Structure 1
Amino acid sequence: MRLPINPQSVNSDWWARYKGAADSALAHGMKVVFGYWEANKDGFVDDVTAWNTMWDRVTADYGGTSAVYFEPMNEPFGYSLSAWVSLCSTWLSRHSAVPRGRVLISGTGYNDNVTGVGAASALSGTLLSLHFYGFWASDTTRSAWTANLSNRLGAYSSRTVIDEAGAPMTTRLDYSAGHQDGNTFTAYFAATTDLARARQLGVVYWPGLRSGDTYSITRQSGGGLATNNASGVVQLRWGWGL
């Protein structure tokens, strides 16, 4: 489960309550990713001092929990590759007690390519975070989408987690085998999950539950959750290796 954080949510009394979501997930045997989301929507850390204070607190609380991972920033599109590597290097030095294998370094741009951060020696040993969506192209074949994703991964599949991927789940698309080529989103989702399974990539679906979002894979129903698209769930579980 990937949870967004910011200084407003962590550097306040609200953090004690928000931690309950992470603690519940951990109690259910899940892994948790904390990722910083900036508020100004310009692709930069809003306030570096507050950001550092936030991460100091989060890593102090969960640095010793092996199932918790840390993503310094979501979609750092404001930074050049060199500036982003420099910022992440500083983060790694400040939080050197956290194993690098539990740090997800976002790809450049909108997390859309990990080849640059993967090649950076200063970030060696870290995991890499890639986002991949079907609205980024108009291809309708699995082969074209597989090539698209492969180019974004380069030689770094073994370090990469696709920590955002999703497709329409409330529009009655059929994601099952035999119905995948011929539609942009079914072809995209099949290619993504097939490649994830073949290369053993982690995949975090976006979003698990979000009211009014056609990508939401579940919806509230009574006192629990219901699935929006059974074939989509089957395909996602396939990508998870199930």
Structure 2
Amino acid sequence: MNQKYKKTILVVDDEEHILELIKFNLEREGYNVLLCDNGEESISMVHNNAVDLVVLDLMLPGMSGIEVCKRLHRIDEFENLPIIMLTAKSEEADRVLGLELGADDYITKPFSVRELIARIKAVLRRSEGRQESMEKIICVKNLIIDTEKHIVTINGDPIELTYKEFELLKILSENRGKVLSRNLLLDEIWGYEYFGETRTVDVHIRHLRKKIGDDKLNEYIETIRGVGYKMK
């Protein structure tokens, strides 16, 4: 496992021995582990910590695991948060409901710790794949940039851009809200040998704005006088 970034797993169960068992084994695998014994607190913990996956018991005191799953996936920030449900064999209807509400997998009690770890690794791999796929598509209002296929559309209509125009639009979109200096853009897109030739950037920005219909409305690209540009 990459030690630069240890994944954080939140385990929610009202049985202390299960929490301790899972914590001990997940920490041996190199994960950060957070523990919680009720549904209400689990939602606060997801809000206040960078949680990568939740192991969630369905039968909790107070707020059930089903309700936790439902509430988390109603929040845009957590709608893709991976959840593995812990269920008893008798809870088949709840298990189906949990999967319909967006849980990624389930495991029945009593469970094998090795199987749980394998399920966690598999769900995290799938989640990372989804995230990478999402990162290849950048959306800015009605502007859609497919960074892998080099396709740009606005309101569904394709826009023809040169390679440099595309790279300029991509770097501005990836750093939306940040001011990028002309010299930084020159260095990133044209190479250091162009350093100081800032008019090159201005000309390409002008062409880019015209092609995306931003030359009059200024909806997308903002000029920061004396510095550079930023994507709104």
- Taking structure 2 as the reference length, the TM-score comes to 0.30
Higher strand residue share: 2
* Larger-gyration structure (1/2): 2
- Taking structure 1 as the reference length, the TM-score comes to 0.30
Higher relative contact order (CA 8 A, sep 6+): 1
